[in-house]
Amino acid sequence: MIKLYGHEVSGNSYKAQLLLSLLEIDYQYLSVDLRKGEHKSPEYLKLNPFGQVPVLIDGDIAIPDAQAILVYLARRYGNDRWLPKDPEAESRVIRWLSVTTGEIRQGLEAARLFYLFNDKSVDIEVAMQKSIFILQQLEQHLTNREWLELGHPTIADIAAFPYVVLAPDGRLSLANYPYICAWIERIRKLPGFVGMPGIEVTTAVAVN
């Protein structure tokens, strides 16, 4: 059985959990206690020398990094809809994985770390500026489409979703971003959707 090492309030751990659920893959979840430093233990560092969550174990294969996990799961257990094989379409999806590790991480994720976890290494002024920038970009991008790319859900949506929907944890309201809010609701309605602390599960009718 697949094993997923993660933390309950980690958005990166959650995106791996979400795709596993959407793909209807059975897995064992192993909680890593970050406060106790379990992610820095010699045993865990063998799985991910960076000492970060999540890590996915599939047989003899260990995949660290949330975005890498999404690619692996989509390729091995999904279909071309989640990560297309066509080079141009694939590049459009991969671009959002880069945005996730760039603008979203430096903005929304950093602001959440500052306010929710009291991470004083974060320059909150810079994080807030980057957060507003990426929210404005996402809002504009979603004005004429339901999904980030290709007209249907892909791992681009799964990668970007957690820290966007968790923006209020970083004291960033989504009230003025109606297209983002509509996109969030579409993801919540996907068959197999699961939540995490701060992301509730709705009971609305699922969409394809």
Q: Residue 11 corresponds to which amino acid? A: G
Domain segments of the chain as ranges: 2-77, 87-188
> How far is the C-alpha of 92 from the C-alpha of 145, rounded, in Å?
14
Q: What is the model's pLDDT at position 188?
A: 96
Q: Dihedral angle at the C-alpha atoms of 191, 202, 16, 127, nearest 10 degrees?
A: 140
Q: What is the model's pLDDT at position 202?
A: 66
Rg (CA), the chain: 17
Fold of the 2-77 domain: Glutaredoxin (3.40.30)
Q: Which long-range contacts (CB under 8 A, 24 or more apart) does 48-56 make?
A: 52/12, 53/5, 53/6, 53/7, 53/10, 53/12, 53/13, 54/4, 54/5, 54/6, 54/10, 54/12, 54/13, 54/16, 55/4, 55/5, 55/6, 56/2, 56/3, 56/4, 56/5, 56/16
Which stretch of DSSP H or E encloses residue 11? helix 11-22
In CATH terms, is domain 87-188 a member of 1.20.1050.10? yes
Q: What is the model's pLDDT at position 207?
A: 39
Q: Look up residue 91 and give its DSSP letter.
A: H
> How far is the C-alpha of 18 from the C-alpha of 168, rounded, in Å?
20
Burial class (CB in 10 A: 0-12, 13-18, 19+), 51: middle
> How far is the C-alpha of 198 from the C-alpha of 195, rounded, in Å?
8
> How far is the C-alpha of 21 from the C-alpha of 6, rounded, in Å?
15
Can you give the pTM of this predicted structure?
0.92
Query: 29 φ, ψ to 5°?
Result: -95, 125
Per-residue confidence of the chain (208 residues) as pLDDT tens digits?
999 999 999 999 999 999 999 999 999 999 997 777 778 788 888 888 887 899 999 999 999 999 999 999 999 999 899 999 999 999 999 999 999 999 999 999 999 999 999 999 999 999 999 999 999 999 999 999 999 999 999 999 999 999 999 999 999 999 999 999 999 999 999 999 999 999 988 654 333 3
